[in-house]
Amino acid sequence: MKRKKKPAARAAARPALLPLGALAAGFGLAFGSAHAQTTAPEDSKETTLAPIKVKAQAEATGKDSVRATETRIGKGQQELRDIPQSITVVTERLIDDRNLDTMKDALRNTAGITFQAAEGQEEDVRLRGFALQSTGDIFLDGMRDPGFYDRDSFNWDRLEVIRGSASMLFGRGSTGGAVNQVNKQPMLINQNELSMTLGNGSYVRGTADFNLKTGDDSAVRLNALVNEADNGGNRIAKQGIAPTFRWGIGTRDEFSVGLYHLQYKNGINYGFPWLQNQVSEAFKPDAYYGAASDITAGGTTYGTATHVHRFAADSELRTVLRIARYERDQRASAIRFAAAAQQPGGVAVSLATIGAGTVLTRGSQNKIQDMESVYLQSDYSGGFEAFGMKHAVLSGIDLALDDFNRYAAVTPAGVTIPAKPTTTIGTPDDGGAVDEGLRGVRRSQTFDAKAIGVYAQDMVEFAPMWKLLAGLRWDQFGGTYRSYATANLGGTNTTPPGTQTAERERTDSLLSRRFGVLFQPTEQQSYHLSYGTSFNTFGDAYSFDPQGTNTPPEASRNVELGGSIDWAQGRFTTRFALFHATKYNERNTDQDSVSPDNYILSGQRHAAGIDLDFAGRITPAWELFAAYEWIPSAKVDKGTLVGGEVEGSRPAMTPRHSGSFWTTYRLSPQWRVGGGLTARSGTRPYLAAFYAPSFVTGDLMAEYKAGDLSFKLNVTNVTDKLYADQLYRGHYVPGKARTVQLTTSIRF
């Protein structure tokens, strides 16, 4: 772990540590004496580590560049070149340039990403063809962010994607990797920005970012959001606010407290049905066939408290407490073709007969749930020398408590709710609706989860230009699942609503490992060979069925050979990685292996290929970001796996080629222009033999600056391409239709 060098600070008496902090510090200090370290705030020119001041030149922030050189996704502040794993960083500059409002938007601008159009419409992401669980593989400032909600970018400093097995860092998780949102933090400067975006579909988005220096080592930052749109019926109504106060910045003890609140009441696009295994041109990209009463309402509120204790110039202890609540109330319409008898002429729908008069039905897909979570995490990072070798240690402990509730939307006794009215392809957003307020809401399931993880990692510089990394983590995850009756009394049903009908529990303990070798011949080059493991428990989705209660976790491994090279006087970085990821004991569900008691972990599949990332300034005026992934080898090696994939087939949601490209050029001090492409080769949904076609979409941007005022025009999907973006066996959700947006910003 290479750190920026700063003058050593005078030793000082160490205050008593929090109990968890002391334990975490012990893991690192056991390797040797810690030396002094201080981490300068990103945008400050001068910081203090009592009792002396430390000066360091800050690199360009993510607001000014599409290139990042440091990250916290690997625990502790580290240079990307010191992490032996493929990482893509979507900086604030790229988020702003391309108007990336949500996590899905941001992830589309990387590579190796696909989305399943899940029944719950949650962020069901596939990375390298392996599922990222919304509850287990999405993080916020390095802590688990498990809620089912529509994440927004208004408070992001950047978005980080780490590929490959990462359980040594994060505990239970997928083979594919993890996604980390990084929130904006107060800085020791006075800087404010207001932005307003107007676009087609009656789109209006306003954001505010206020940063105020309140003292020599303290600052407060406030980010806020209001977003409204009609979108042809698929409305947006979203508000957010995120205040944070930070003090002791750059001193021996630094603190921050923050609150985040996001709420929305949007429409929900459940997509279009497949027709003879094809994407029909009869559907327009911006058409919306959901009922007017369809909603996806919810959001999150969480508070975060952070303490950073700096022992000296090369060691710190970071302790974070987060308390969060997540909510979701989804009332959606699953769009399908009506039966032949309801179609014009009584003829079944086909490619030859589909048209504006084709009749569509609207089914009901309701998801109602909430969750309360408490997370406590303490991470020690430090550097020291022992036996003539340099060591960079990471160690820590984390605790998690989740209280999850799922609810059923039922029709109360004596109440009649009519079926949702049908519509036609030619009449999207026709106003058809039902009274969702007539449905009753009854608790159907609960899941109480408890988790603890302890880890330690050491990176040893054992020879000039050579580093060896080894890490080990122990996790214990346990959950108790309960289900409850929700049906009305009557007829043969004599079980009153609310009666507990089942209780299941399970506890798993596992070790995760991470090893790597780095060769760094110069400051501009770094090459690595790494091996890591990961595991998935059956309770990752906060549910147990009878077989899953008795089934151990799945396991996987990732081998990677890669590196990074800096060019253009250090302004531009190329990263590459050859990888082979294997899930080698996947849950098997064929008839020969499933018993009434448990699943058999006999399945296996793999994906192998190459990742490429390019980011930075080729010249002072020309900037580029590109990400590409090629997976030539992917296969279900053993068994008929969960989801019904057949042995010998290529796994679903695993395109051979995917990537994104974005470049800008400054024509003059006032004018900057840009453009880019996003592409994916064909792939198939789960439980489907057909393929979603490949696609390429193009975006354009032009920006004019007049002092502190700027105007930016974005055109997304310039050709109005219809393509299947999120995939499911019964339907697909199309990608965004052509959008035109004008953003006005002022800094002061």
Q: Is the pLDDT higher at 655 or at 124?
A: 655
CATH no. for residue 196? 2.40.170.20
Average pLDDT along the chain: 88
Instruction: Write down the H helix ranges in 258-306.
Output: none
| pLDDT score at 136 | 76
Strand duo 177-183 + 138-140: pairing: parallel
DSSP string of 364-391?
Answer: -EEEEEEEEEEEEEEEEEEEEEETTEEE
Overall pTM surpassing 0.75 (yes/no): yes
Domain count, the chain: 1
Structure tokens at 617: 């300034």
Tens-digit pLDDT profile for residues 75-117: 878 899 999 999 999 999 999 999 999 999 999 999 999 998 8
The share of the chain scoring above pLDDT 70, in percent, equals 89
Asked if the structure places residue 277 within a domain, the reply is no
| pLDDT score at 25 | 40
Asked if the structure places residue 315 within a domain, the reply is yes
Asked if the structure places residue 8 within a domain, the reply is no
The pLDDT-based confidence of 342 (bands split at 50, 70, 90) is: very high
Nearest alpha-carbon partner for 258 in 209, 193, 323: 323
Q: What is the mean pLDDT of residues 32-59?
A: 41
Tens-digit pLDDT profile for residues 599-648: 777 788 999 999 999 999 999 999 999 999 999 999 999 876 555 678 88
The share of the chain scoring above pLDDT 90, in percent, equals 72
The distance from CA 12 to its chain's CA centroid, rounded to whole angstroms, is 40
| pLDDT score at 646 | 82
C-alpha pair distances (Å), 47 with each of 55, 69, 127 = 6, 21, 39
Tens-digit pLDDT profile for residues 420-438: 999 999 999 999 999 999 9
Tens-digit pLDDT profile for residues 210-250: 999 999 999 999 999 999 999 999 999 999 999 999 999 99
- Inform me whether the pLDDT recorded for 137 exceeds 70: yes
- Inform me whether the pLDDT recorded for 467 exceeds 60: yes
The pLDDT-based confidence of 353 (bands split at 50, 70, 90) is: very high
Asked if the structure places residue 9 within a domain, the reply is no
Asked if the structure places residue 156 within a domain, the reply is yes
Nearest alpha-carbon partner for 315 in 60, 20, 513, 24: 24
Q: What is the mean pLDDT of residues 524-533?
A: 97
- Please give the Cα distance from 588 to 644 (Å, whole number): 9
Nearest alpha-carbon partner for 101 in 288, 264, 293: 264
Tens-digit pLDDT profile for residues 547-571: 778 788 889 999 999 999 999 999 9
The pLDDT-based confidence of 20 (bands split at 50, 70, 90) is: very low
| pLDDT score at 536 | 85
DSSP bridge pairs for 507: 478
- Please give the Cα distance from 479 to 451 (Å, whole number): 9
Asked if the structure places residue 671 within a domain, the reply is yes
Asked if the structure places residue 2 within a domain, the reply is no
C-alpha pair distances (Å), 265 with each of 228, 296, 405 = 10, 6, 20
Asked if the structure places residue 280 within a domain, the reply is no
Domain that holds residue 646: 19-203+218-270+286-299+308-360+374-747
Q: What is the mean pLDDT of residues 192-197?
A: 98
